[in-house]
C-alpha cells in the first residue's frame, strides 16, 4: 500500500514539474535579422533560433508576425529545421523601409510570446527595362535595347491554329504553282486548278492577315479589334521578326497576279520573275527566327527546308484537289508519275535540311529541352509521311506505267492515299507552329560587350548562375546599369542589390524583370542614384523552379561626381 502511495505522489510531483517547465518561455538565442540591427538589403526570410527544441504541439501552434512602418508583411508558413530549434518563414511581400517588429508565439502560451525590432533601410527600384525579344526600343547611353510589352502571352492557342492554316494555304499556292512549272505544265488550263489556287490564295491572305493582327495585339497590348487596323501595325513590325512578317504579307498579297492567272508561271516573258517571286515568298518562312542568336547557316538551311517542304506538300495538294478530281487524259497520269519520280529528291532535301536545323537550334539538348523534344516528335511524324510517300511511289511505278489515261477508280484510290499523306503533313505543320513559339536552346544571349561605353563591366559566374554587369559613370548621382543573364535559361525573382559600406545610407534593390536569358537596362535617368562614394557591395540573387541560385557577389568603387563638385564651387 505504501509503495502504491509513493508512486502516486511521485507521479503528481513529476506532473507539477512538467507543468512548471511548460510555463518557462523558450528563449530566443539568435535571429536573422539580428535584434536592434540596421538592415540595408531586404531579407528573403526570417530566421529564429530557440534555446530549447520544439515539439509537435509547438510546431502545430507556431505563429510569426512581422510589421514594418505600421504595415503587416505577408509571410509564408513557418518551417522548423531538422534540429527542431531553427524556425524559418519566407517573406511573401516586399516590406516598406522603416522600423520593423517581429512577434512570435509558441503553443499558444503567453509565456512563449516574444518580440524584437530592427530597422530596414532599403530603397527598392524597379527601373530596369527588359531586353529580350520584344519590339519597343529604349535608348540608354547610346545603346538600343528592346523591351517586352505587356500581354505577350495572349492569343497563344488562336495564334497557333491560325499559323497552321497560314502555312497550309501558302504552301498550296507556292507548291501548286511550282509543280505546274516542273511537273504538270498542262495543269493551269484546268478549272479545278484555277479554283484550287484562287481559294488557297484567299485562305492564305485571310489567315496571314489575322496572324499579323494578333502579333500586333500581343506586342502593343491593344485589343484584337483595334489591331485589325493595319495602320496600327507599324510599331509591331519594327523588330527583325516583324520586318520578315511584313515582307511575308507583302509577298502573299502580291501572289495574286500568279494565283489568278497561273499561266504566267509558264509564259516566257514572266516565268523567271514569277519563279523568283515564289521562291522569295517561301524563303521568308526560313527566316522566322531572325533576330535570335543563331548561326547564319540556320537561316540558309531553313530557306532550303521551306522550299523542299513547300514543293512536296503543295504538289501533293495540287494533285489531290485538282489533278485527281476525276478521270482524265494522259497528262494526269504523267503528272502523278513525275511527282512519284521526284519525291525521293524532295524527301532527302526536306529531311537533311530539317536535321541540320535541329542540330543548329538544339545541339545536345535535343532530348533535354522542350523545343528539342518537339523536333523529335516532328521527325517521327515526318517518317510516317515518308513511309506513305514511298508506298504511293511504288504504286505509281507499278500501276501507272501501263495506264494511258486516268480512270475514275484509279483517281479515287490515288486521291485517298495522297489525302492521307496531306493529313500527316498538317500534323507536321502543327508541330512547326508550336515550335515557332518556343525559344531554341542554342538561341542564347550574346556574350559580346554592350555597344554603349560603360565605365565598369564584370562577368560573374558559378556552376549554375552566369551574369554580366555593366555600370556607368560609376560616380555619385544618376547611373545607368546593364544586367545580362546568360545562365540559367529561365529565372524567377531576379534581383541586383547594391549595398554601400558607408553607414546610414540605404541599399538599393534592382528588380530585373526578365524571365529568360537576355539583357535588361536601368537607363541613366531612370532613378538609379548612388548617394555616397566609396566601396559598394554588389549581390546578384535569383531563383529557379529547382530552388535558389548561389548568390553572385563583387564590389565596385564609386567616386564623387565632378559635376556636383563643379556646381558647388561655382555656387560658392
Examine the domain organization and report whether 291 and 424 are in the same domain.
yes
Q: Which of 118, 109, 35, 114 is nearest to 73 (CA)?
A: 118
Examine the domain organization and report whether 190 and 286 are in the same domain.
yes
**Residue 271 placed within a domain:** yes
The DSSP string of 260-294 is SSGGGGTSTTTHHHHHHHHHHHHHGGGGTTTTSS-
Strand-strand pairing, 480-490 and 516-522: antiparallel
Strand order in the sheet with 516-522: 129-131, 516-522, 480-490, 466-472, 456-461
Q: What local confidence, expressed as pLDDT, does residue 123 receive? A: 55
Burial 157-169 (b: 16+ CB within 10 A, else e): eebeebbbbbbbb
C-beta pairs of 221-227 under 8 Å, 24+ apart in sequence: 221/149, 221/150, 221/151, 224/155
Examine the domain organization and report whether 393 and 512 are in the same domain.
no
- Dihedral Cα 244, 250, 252, 255, nearest 10 deg: -140
Examine the domain organization and report whether 112 and 133 are in the same domain.
no
What are the distances in angstroms from CA 53 to CA 11, 84, 110, 112, 116?
24, 5, 18, 13, 20
Question: Of 403, 436, 469, which residue constitutes the final position of a domain?
Answer: 436
**Residue 508 placed within a domain:** yes
Q: What local confidence, expressed as pLDDT, does residue 563 receive? A: 62
**Residue 194 placed within a domain:** yes
Q: Any idea what the CATH number is for the domain that residue 412 is in?
A: 1.20.1630
| 509: containing domain | 129-142+451-571
pTM beyond 0.75: no
**Residue 151 placed within a domain:** no
**Residue 359 placed within a domain:** yes
The total number of residues shown for the chain amounts to 572
Instruction: Give residues with Cβ within 8 angstroms of 288, minimum separation 6.
Output: 241, 244, 302, 436
Other Cβ atoms within 10 Å of 417 Cβ, number: 19
Q: Any idea what the CATH number is for the domain that residue 36 is in?
A: 2.60.40.1220
Q: Which of 478, 559, 468 is nearest to 524 (CA)?
A: 478
CA distance 83 to 363: 45
Report the 3 state secondary structure along 389-457: HHHHHHHHHHHHHHCCCECHHHHHHHHHHHHHHHHHHHHHHHHHHHHHCCCCCCCCCCCCCCCCCCCEE
**Residue 457 placed within a domain:** yes
**Residue 405 placed within a domain:** yes
CA distance 47 to 529: 31
- Residue 516: is it exposed, middle or buried by C-beta count within 10 angstroms (0-12/13-18/19+)? middle
Examine the domain organization and report whether 112 and 188 are in the same domain.
no
Record the cell numbers describing residue 19, joined without a space. Answer: 507543468
In degrees, to the nearest 5, what angle opens at C-alpha 385 toward C-alphas 379 and 389? 140
Examine the domain organization and report whether 72 and 168 are in the same domain.
no
Examine the domain organization and report whether 268 and 384 are in the same domain.
yes
Record the cell numbers describing residue 210, joined without a space. Answer: 489575322
Examine the domain organization and report whether 456 and 358 are in the same domain.
no
Query: C-alpha 539: how far from its chain's center?
Result: 26
Give me the tens of pLDDT residue by residue for the chain, a chain 572 residues long. Answer: 444 443 444 444 444 444 444 455 678 888 888 888 887 777 777 888 888 888 766 666 678 888 888 888 878 778 888 788 888 888 766 677 788 999 888 765 545 578 888 888 765 444 454 444 333 333 334 443 433 333 344 567 788 888 899 999 999 999 999 999 998 888 888 899 999 999 999 999 999 999 888 888 877 666 778 778 888 787 677 777 788 888 999 999 999 999 999 999 999 999 999 999 999 999 999 888 887 778 888 889 999 999 999 999 999 999 888 888 778 788 888 888 888 888 889 889 998 998 998 888 888 788 878 888 888 888 888 888 888 888 877 877 777 766 777 888 888 888 888 888 888 888 888 888 888 877 787 775 444 455 567 888 999 999 889 999 988 888 888 888 888 888 887 888 788 888 888 877 777 878 887 777 778 887 766 667 888 899 988 989 888 877 788 889 999 999 988 765 443 333 34
CA distance 561 to 105: 50
Query: C-alpha 396: how far from its chain's center?
Result: 46
Examine the domain organization and report whether 343 and 416 are in the same domain.
yes
CA distance 377 to 172: 24
In degrees, to the nearest 5, what angle opens at C-alpha 516 toward C-alphas 480 and 77? 95
Query: C-alpha 189: how far from its chain's center?
Result: 48
Examine the domain organization and report whether 328 and 425 are in the same domain.
yes
Instruction: Give residues with Cβ within 8 angstroms of 531, minimum separation 6.
Output: 476, 500, 505, 506
Examine the domain organization and report whether 430 and 468 are in the same domain.
no
Q: What local confidence, expressed as pLDDT, does residue 159 receive? A: 83
Q: Any idea what the CATH number is for the domain that residue 464 is in?
A: 2.60.40.10
**Residue 11 placed within a domain:** no
Other Cβ atoms within 10 Å of 411 Cβ, number: 21
Say if CB 379 and CB 353 are below 8 A apart: no
Instruction: Give residues with Cβ within 8 angstroms of 56, minimum separation 6.
Output: none
Question: Of 436, 471, 494, which residue constitutes the final position of a domain?
Answer: 436
Q: What local confidence, expressed as pLDDT, does residue 548 receive? A: 82
The DSSP string of 444-512 is PPP-SPPSS--SEEEEEE-SS-EEEEEEES-BSEE-EEEEEEEEEEE-EEEEEEEEESSTT--EEEEE-
Q: Count up the domains in the chain and report the number.
A: 3
CA distance 512 to 425: 42
- Residue 274: is it exposed, middle or buried by C-beta count within 10 angstroms (0-12/13-18/19+)? buried
Examine the domain organization and report whether 165 and 295 are in the same domain.
yes
Question: Of 409, 436, 463, which residue constitutes the final position of a domain?
Answer: 436
Amino acid at each position: 500500500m505504501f509503495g502504491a502511495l509513493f508512486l502516486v505522489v511521485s507521479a503528481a510531483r513529476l506532473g507539477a514539474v512538467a507543468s512548471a517547465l511548460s510555463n518557462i518561455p523558450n528563449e530566443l538565442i539568435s535571429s536573422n535579422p539580428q535584434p536592434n540591427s540596421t538592415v540595408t538589403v531586404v531579407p528573403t526570410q526570417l530566421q529564429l533560433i530557440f534555446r530549447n527544441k520544439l515539439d509537435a504541439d509547438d510546431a502545430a501552434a507556431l505563429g510569426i508576425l512581422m510589421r514594418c512602418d505600421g504595415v503587416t508583411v505577408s509571410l509564408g508558413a513557418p518551417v522548423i529545421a531538422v534540429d527542431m530549434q531553427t524556425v524559418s518563414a519566407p517573406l511573401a511581400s516586399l516590406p516598406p523601409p522603416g522600423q520593423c517588429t517581429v512577434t512570435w508565439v509558441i503553443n499558444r502560451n503567453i509565456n512563449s510570446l516574444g518580440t524584437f525590432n530592427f530597422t530596414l533601410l532599403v530603397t527598392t527600384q524597379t527601373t530596369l527595362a527588359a531586353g529580350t525579344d520584344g519590339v519597343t526600343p529604349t535608348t540608354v547611353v547610346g545603346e538600343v535595347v528592346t523591351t517586352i510589352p505587356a500581354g505577350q502571352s495572349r492569343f497563344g492557342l488562336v495564334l497557333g491554329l491560325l499559323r497552321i492554316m497560314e502555312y497550309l494555304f501558302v504552301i498550296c499556292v507556292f507548291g501548286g504553282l511550282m509543280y505546274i512549272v516542273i511537273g504538270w505544265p498542262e495543269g493551269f488550263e484546268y478549272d479545278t486548278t484555277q479554283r484550287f489556287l484562287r481559294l488557297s490564295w484567299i485562305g492564305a491572305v485571310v489567315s496571314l492577315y489575322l496572324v499579323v493582327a494578333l502579333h500586333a495585339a500581343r506586342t502593343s497590348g491593344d485589343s484584337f479589334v483595334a489591331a485589325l487596323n493595319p495602320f496600327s501595325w507599324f510599331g509591331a513590325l519594327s523588330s527583325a521578326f516583324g520586318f520578315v512578317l511584313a515582307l511575308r504579307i507583302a509577298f502573299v498579297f502580291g501572289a495574286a497576279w500568279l494565283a489568278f492567272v497561273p499561266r504566267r508561271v509558264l509564259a516566257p516573258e514572266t516565268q523567271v520573275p514569277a519563279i523568283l517571286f515564289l521562291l522569295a515568298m517561301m524563303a521568308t518562312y526560313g527566316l522566322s527566327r531572325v533576330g535570335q542568336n543563331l548561326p547564319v547557316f540556320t537561316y540558309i538551311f531553313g530557306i532550303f527546308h521551306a522550299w523542299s517542304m513547300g514543293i512536296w506538300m503543295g504538289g501533293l495538294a495540287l494533285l489531290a484537289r485538282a489533278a485527281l478530281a476525276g478521270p482524265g487524259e494522259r497528262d494526269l497520269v504523267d503528272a502523278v508519275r513525275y511527282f512519284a519520280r521526284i519525291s525521293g529528291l524532295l524527301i532527302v532535301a526536306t529531311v537533311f535540311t530539317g536535321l541540320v536545323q535541329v542540330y543548329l537550334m538544339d545541339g545536345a539538348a535535343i532530348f533535354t529541352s522542350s523545343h528539342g523534344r518537339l523536333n523529335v516528335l516532328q521527325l517521327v511524324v515526318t517518317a510516317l509521311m515518308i513511309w506513305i510517300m514511298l508506298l504511293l511511289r511504288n504504286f505509281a511505278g507499278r500501276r501507272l506505267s501501263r495506264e494511258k489515261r486516268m480512270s475514275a477508280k484509279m483517281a479515287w484510290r490515288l486521291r485517298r492515299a495522297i489525302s492521307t499523306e496531306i493529313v500527316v503533313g498538317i500534323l507536321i505543320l502543327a508541330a512547326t507552329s508550336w515550335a515557332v513559339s518556343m525559344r531554341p536552346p542554342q538561341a542564347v544571349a550574346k556574350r559580346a560587350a554592350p555597344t554603349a561605353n560603360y565605365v565598369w563591366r564584370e562577368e560573374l559566374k558559378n556552376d549554375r548562375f552566369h551574369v554580366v554587369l555593366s555600370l556607368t559613370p560609376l560616380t555619385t548621382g544618376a547611373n545607368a546599369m546593364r544586367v545580362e543573364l546568360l545562365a540559367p535559361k529561365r529565372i524567377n525573382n531576379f534581383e541586383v542589390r547594391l549595398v554601400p559600406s558607408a553607414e546610414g545610407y540605404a541599399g538599393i534593390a534592382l528588380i530585373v524583370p526578365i524571365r529568360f536569358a537576355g539583357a535588361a537596362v536601368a537607363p541613366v535617368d531612370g532613378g538609379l542614384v548612388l548617394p555616397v562614394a566609396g566601396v559598394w557591395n554588389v549581390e546578384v540573387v535569383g531563383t529557379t523552379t529547382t530552388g535558389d541560385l548561389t548568390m553572385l557577389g563583387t564590389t565596385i568603387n564609386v567616386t564623387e561626381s565632378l559635376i556636383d563638385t563643379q556646381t558647388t564651387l561655382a555656387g560658392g
